[in-house]
Structure 1
């Protein structure tokens, strides 16, 4: 769970850094927009943020697409169909996070496997996976999402 929180904090920090504040905003920020009207000339409230740019800013690979994505999902399903359990996008997100484990713990295979074990939960494995399964998941992520790590 700690890995998940670390990745979420890194992603949030990157999002804040990439979105920034509009120039000329001198008024203090408010947590509520209740009772406030936006002038017609005001900029749009949201900005388009490229998720792959955010991932790159925190040292993670881009989201796999096409054949790369399918190879990753097929690799996980070959280990155990309960790993993906019908939630492809969630598995992709966890795979990208798993690549972050390589970055955070370079050369420390034991910690990489332990962090992966904890990260890959499912309804039938709420406490995570076995070390053997985690090792296989780590290998599939490395080969299919972040081979350059």
Structure 2
């Protein structure tokens, strides 16, 4: 490039035409194909799934609630806490584990974790965990 005397040198940059990345075409093709995969409005509504075996009831009758809380308070008043829903929810979680496992050592370990409190962050110990498990089985999910 030659500069004329008295004029500043201006360099022109040659721009290369930008080609779209090679992934654009496959992505666009996939989007077009997926947009065609919709459910027809005439599809039947699927039937509800019914599980075999006893279920874990969400709300017990009041007598079972009271007996469960009394059992926990007899083991250790702190287990029950000031929130009865907390204890009931932990019991239901334990029932789900009971339903899925016959390993008593694992169930006791889960009870230790589930029923831990701020003053007992590591649980209440093996003896109390066994009593908690007994109360859960007797009052929260006796059908299991």
Q: Which TM-score applies when normalising by structure 1?
A: 0.58
Report the CA distance between 1:145 and its aligned residue.
1.2
Report the CA distance between 1:143 and its aligned residue.
0.3
C-alpha separation in 1, matches of 2:136 and 2:122: 20
Q: Establish whether residue 133 from structure 1 lines up as the match of residue 89 from structure 2.
A: no
Asked which structure has the greater CA Rg, the reply is 2
Q: Establish whether residue 99 from structure 1 lines up as the match of residue 107 from structure 2.
A: no
Q: Identify the residue that residue 122 of structure 1 maps to in structure 2.
A: 117
C-alpha separation in 1, matches of 2:88 and 2:96: 13
C-alpha separation in 2, matches of 1:66 and 1:135: 24
Gaps of 5+ in 2: 1-40, 42-51
C-alpha separation in 1, matches of 2:137 and 2:112: 15
Report the CA distance between 1:127 and its aligned residue.
2.1
Q: CA RMSD in A?
A: 2.3
Contact 1:68–1:144 (Cα < 8 Å) also in 2 = yes
Q: Which TM-score applies when normalising by structure 2?
A: 0.59
* Greater mean deviation of Cα atoms: 93-102 or 61-70: 61-70
C-alpha separation in 2, matches of 1:104 and 1:125: 27
Gaps of 5+ in 1: 1-23, 25-55
Q: Establish whether residue 76 from structure 1 lines up as the match of residue 66 from structure 2.
A: no
Report the CA distance between 1:62 and its aligned residue.
2.6
Structure richer in helix, relative to its length: 1
Q: Deviations over 1:61-101 (max 9, x none)?
A: 33223101000000000100000121111111111111112
The count of aligned residue pairs is 95
